[in-house]
Structure 1
Amino acid sequence: MLITDYFKKFLHSSQSSGILLICCVAVSLLIANSALAEGFQNILNKEIGTDVFGLNYPVSIWINDGLMVVFFLLVGLEIKREIVEGELSSFKSASLPIVAALGGMIVPALIYIFFNQDSEYAKGWAIPMATDIAFSLAILSMLGKGVPLSLKIFLAALAIVDDLGAIVVIAMFYTDQIHWNYLALSGAMVAFLVVLNFLKFKKHIFYIIPGLFLWYFMHHSGIHATIAGVLMAFTIPTNISTTEISPLEKMEQKLHLPVNFLVMPLFALANTNITFKEGMVEGLFSSLGYGIVLGLVIGKLVGINLFSWIFIKLKISSLPDQSTWPQMLGTGLLAGIGFTMSIFIALLSFKGHAEIQDEAKFAVLIASVFSGVTGFLILKYLGKKESKPAAANV
């Protein structure tokens, strides 16, 4: 009985998902640099599914483009709830993640371009623009009640905007072909979901089935399919009745455990299996390494906080409720965890150049670890020193 109680406590602890994710990262890195590496990679590359409708993909694709849609659906639900009735319900609070995300994309890209504009690495300018929403939120969750809820919502919203920006950049600069017919069908499916919301359909099945079609069309359009989760989330009803829990909250409650203890661990295992090779360390001290590391660590920190400070001083936006500038600094560093999204862009940027890809992956790993650890420490120790509400810090 005691073991069961501990297990239940672990499952419902806000820190548990972050701890589990870090353990999965460690396991994945160990496997990738051991005799098990080839076998593990074979599992990830094994195709499963059916050729009917073109649904036969490697395990890694099912995890990244399939299961991760559920993660983005959950984050989208949380953000919609906060926009409707929570921390993002005012223009000032809702606008801050958007402008912060813009700063967090522009400044890192400029830093990278400064180091690489006239080199063979120039086309990797988008690498430090990305934020790995899964890992950044996992690290923040490990702080539990040590940070205000508003800061968690701010980072989630910022990371969603950042990911949407990355998807647009990938579509415009790194995608060989966009299938407009599938993109149009995706738009039609979103419109259908909006109509269901307008007609006040409240059973989840009415949204899940069209949501699956939306994922299918989006995946075949050439645009990263995870955006389907966010789009679907924003069509789930919030206020069907004031006397019962909304469909959005019910779906949110159902998704928390599978996302935290199935989707995220599988994502970490599948995407952090980086094999360390000779020359990777040397790549850190090249213009490529400088651009990536300084872009993610300094660029994200400066871009997010500079743009936030400007818009707050102009009284267009406001700090997240009960948060402080030291906490914003820590959050800016957590946004520098580019990890899987940055690695994905690096692979697209340097197709056919395995050595450059390896150097870029190692630089992203080092920058992400440094940003994550530093951001965590600032939020845990420095962020506690000020306890004034946000309004007093503007």
Structure 2
Amino acid sequence: MLRAFFKTETGSTSVLLGATLLALLWANSPWGDTYESFWQTTMGLSFGSASFDLDLRHWVNDGLMTVFFFVIGLEISYEARLGQLRDRRLIGVPAVAALGGMMVPAAVYLALNAGGPGAGGWGVPIATDTAFVLGMLAIVGARCPEPLRVFLLTLAIVDDVLAIIIIAIFYTESLAVVSLVVAAALLAAIMTLRWLRIWRPPAYIVLGFALWVATLESGVHPTLIGIALGILVFVYAPTDTKLLRADEAVHVFTNDPSAEAAREATRTLRRAVSVNERLQLLLHPWSSYVIVPVFALANAGVRFDGEALRTAMTSPITLGVAAGLLLGKFVGISLGTWLPLKFGWGILPGNLVWGQLLGGAAVSGIGFTVALFIVDLAFDDPSVQSQAKIGILSGSLLAALLGGVIFRLAWDRGGVCAPPDAEPEEELPELLAEPVGPDDHVRGPADAPVTIVEYGDFECPYCGRLHPILDELLRKNSDVRLVFRHFPLRTIHPRAFPAALLAEAAAKEGRFWEMHDTLYDNQRFLTDTDLARYADELDVEPWSDIPGQSAPITRDEESGRASGVRGTPTLFLNGVRYQGDMDLRSITKAVESARQST
């Protein structure tokens, strides 16, 4: 899910940037007057004598952006239940960093505007634009490892939640009680349908639109409803039963292709995946490639004539927004990252160094979508809005430049881990340094002519993909045995070592391979709670002898390093390093070659 999110967000950055430039060119062209007149065009619905209308800008800001925040709600729900936010150790640092990245920019802004006419705009520099930040990281490329993207994405999710809370509390001017009661009743109706497990899309669409109208009339910004409904959408991991039914349906269609079998297979496959994930797949491209760019087109059109620029250069609003994004975000996120690490409140998702974290803190000062959104809520005067928007554009540009400089300096000083193709070449040993012995974990006959030694990591996704391949290989080749040795990449996969400890605890009960299979079958669920559940299911004492459990792991790591293991999975066939593709066909071919050479 994270990889798909990265791909969509970074890919949509160019569209968002294009829409922003188009809005600026339009507003500053000889036809600049048509920019405002177009977006102020009224459009509405009428039912007899009743009517409901908004201008185009408000249809975008209050309507389309509700869908944008609905997608954010879906992402929050997924990450909280199945993804990155499940592990409190991993959300502690980015959560505090996000809080610092909102408090310090607001303080910087208020230092220049407290008591003045622009004081209400303190919320403008608090939010980070995820699409632009991930787009900037894509430009940085190899200087930014994926764990930093995960860290910043988690930070952005927390940032979005806090921004929504701030909008709800501080930027709601007045409330219409009757409309608010109606909205509450409609929300209760939607929650009742969810509780009754009634999944009829028309019912949700009608109630959702009515809820949006009632919320808009109540004075509460309707985008809050978007994020609330997104959080309410069901998300779950596919159960074994649903996966089995899906597999059976596909098998039926494969054996007897027909329209009815195809329909049943499609229906069963859809049910195996949660509604949340299906909606994200459907709506996320629309949100990233259409809604946000249209929002930028409707709101980023600032006139840069001489008078506007002269006013902005001395305007405390412009300076406050720009300084909040450039300095406030950098200082707030840096301090918010250092504090929880200092006091042990959490861990980072990988082997990150301060050069990377400071670069990430700097580019997080790129504030655009939510910043422009709050400008529209905070200020009514178009000239004041223009000053704030100039601050957003200048502060975001300077933040991007500062981040690029920091990443380059960190790279030049060796502070960033380069990808494998950027590392200097190393002559690695071809032979296994430590032969298979009685303390190894062996699956297969002791006299097998072919022995595969795997150095693996229980959290490594590539090891997870290899696991069923090796199982299939052993099933088809009774004269092959598999030896598993631990090589947890502790700095990249923080859950790998605790999982290895549990596997060794199971080994003391003679159940290593059962636990081995359980851990690989549940790679996405390796928190302490999950590990304790697996231990209970297999009747294993998980942490009874940690020194004794860690000793074989350390021994495997030492033998791996001596054998030239630098990543996982690494295989040795009859003591010789395997350098082919990690697929069944390639490994089978190598096994046949090893069998013939014995």
- TM-score, normalised to structure 2, is 0.56
Show the counterpart of 1:150. Answer: 150
The answer to whether the aligner puts 1:389 opposite 2:509 as a matched pair is: no
Going from structure 1 to structure 2, the CA distance change for 1:94 and 1:207 (only over 3 Å counts) comes to farther
Q: Which residue of the partner structure matches residue 212 of structure 1?
A: 209
Give yes or no for the alignment of 1:278 onto 2:306.
yes
Residues 70-219 of structure 1: pairs in structure 2 closer than 5 A: 70-117=67-114, 119-133=116-130, 135-136=132-133, 139=136, 147-148=145-146, 150-171=150-171, 175-202=172-199, 204-219=201-216
Residue-by-residue CA offset, 1:32-56 (whole Å, 9 max, x unaligned)? 1002322233221111121446531
Q: Name the SS of the counterpart of 2:54 in structure 1.
A: strand
Distance 1:215 1:379 in 2: 43
Match of 1:295 in 2: 324
Larger Rg: 2
Q: State the one-letter code of the partner of 1:48.
A: M
Q: 1:196 to 1:240 in 2, by over 3 A?
A: farther
Cα distance in 2 for residues equivalent to 1:312 and 1:345: 32
**2:45 aligned residue:** 50
- Call closer, same or farther: CA 1:305–1:255 in 2, change over 3 Å: same
Does structure 1 retain, via aligned residues, the 8 Å contact 2:353–2:416? no
> Please, which runs of 5 or more residues in structure 2 have no aligned partner?
1-6, 244-271, 419-490, 496-598
Does residue 305 of the first structure (1) align with residue 314 of the second (2)? no
SS in 2 for 1:385: coil
Amino acid at match of 1:35: P
2:566 alignment counterpart: none
- 1:140 touches 1:152 (CA, 8 Å); kept in 2? no
Root mean square deviation of aligned Cα: 3.2
Matched-pair contact (CA < 8 Å) for 2:78–2:235: yes
Distance 1:118 1:235, change over 3 A: closer
Identity of aligned residues (%): 31
SS in 1 for 2:86: coil
More deviation in 376-385 or 59-68? 376-385
Corresponding residue for residue 232 of structure 1: 229
Q: Deviations over 1:287-342 (max 9, x none)?
A: 44432221121111211221232123222233345554444333333432333543
Distance 2:72 2:138 in 1: 13
The Cα shift of 1:355 comes to 4.3
What's 1:7 paired with?
Answer: none
- Alpha-carbon displacement from aligned partner over 1:151-209 (angstroms, at most 9, x marks no partner): 353143133124214313533xxx43122333343334334333333333445445433
Secondary structure (helix, strand or coil) at the match of 1:125 reads: helix
Against the structure 1 CA distance between its residues 49 and 290, is the aligned structure 2 distance closer, same or farther, given a 3 Å change threshold?
Answer: closer
Give 1:20 shift: 1.2
Superposed CA deviations along residues 232-284 of structure 1, whole A, max 9, x for unmatched, are 11111112852211111111111133223221221121111111133433333
Q: 1:232 to 1:95 in 2, by over 3 A?
A: farther
Q: Which residue of 2 aligns with 1:40?
A: 35
Whether the 8 Å contact between 1:73 and 1:233 is mirrored in structure 2 is yes
Residue pair 2:216, 2:222 contacting (<8 A) in 1 also: yes
1:371 aligns with 2:403: no
| Residue 210 of structure 1, CA deviation | 2.9
Aligned amino acid, residue 81 of structure 1? Y
Asked if the contact 1:18/1:141 (under 8 Å) is kept, the reply is no
Distance 1:382 1:28, change over 3 A: farther
Deviation track 1:358-379 (CA, whole Å, cap 9, x = no partner) reads: 3333222211222234346656
Aligned residue number for residue 289 of structure 2? 261
8 Å Cα contact 2:292/2:369 also seen in 1: no
Residue 315 of structure 1 pairs with residue 344 of structure 2:
yes
Q: Give, in whole Å, the separation in 2 of the partners of 1:336 and 1:48.
A: 35
Higher deviation after alignment, 368-377 or 38-47: 368-377
Q: Counterpart of 2:36 in structure 1: which amino acid?
A: Q
Deviates more, 1:334-343 or 1:27-36: 334-343
Aligned equivalents of 1:119, 1:202: Cα separation in 2: 51
Cα deviation code 1:210-244 (max 9, x no counterpart): 33233222222222221222111111111285221
Aligned residue identity for 1:154:
T
Give, in angstroms, the shift of residue 347 of structure 1.
5.4
Structure 1 portions without partners, runs of 5+:
1-11
Structure 1 residues 13 and 125, CA gap change in structure 2 (3 angstroms): closer
Output one character per residue of 1:87-146: Cα deviation in whole Å (capped at 9) or x when no partner: 111223334444333222221122222233354544443332344455445555666895
Count of aligned pairs between the two proteins: 377
In 2: Cα distance, 1:169 partner to 1:368 partner: 26
TM-score, normalising length from structure 1? Answer: 0.82
Q: 2: distance between equivalents of 1:69 and 1:104?
A: 24
Question: Are the structure 2 counterparts of residues 241 and 216 from structure 1 closer, same or farther at C-alpha, using a change threshold of 3 Å?
Answer: farther
C-alpha spacing 1:144/1:251, structure 2 compared with 1 (3 Å): farther
Bigger mean CA offset, 112-121 vs 70-79 = 112-121
**RCO comparison, higher one (Cα < 8 Å, 6+):** 1
Cα distance in 2 for partners of 1:334, 1:170 equals: 26
Counterpart pick for 2:12 among 17, 29, 42: 17
Q: Which of the pair is proportionally richer in helix?
A: 1
Whether contact under 8 Å (2:101, 2:332) holds in the other structure is: yes
Secondary structure, in 3 states, of the residue corresponding to 1:50?
strand
In 2: Cα distance, 1:42 partner to 1:166 partner: 31
Match of 1:333 among 325, 346, 362: 362
Q: d(CA) in 1 for partners of 2:220 and 2:405?
A: 36
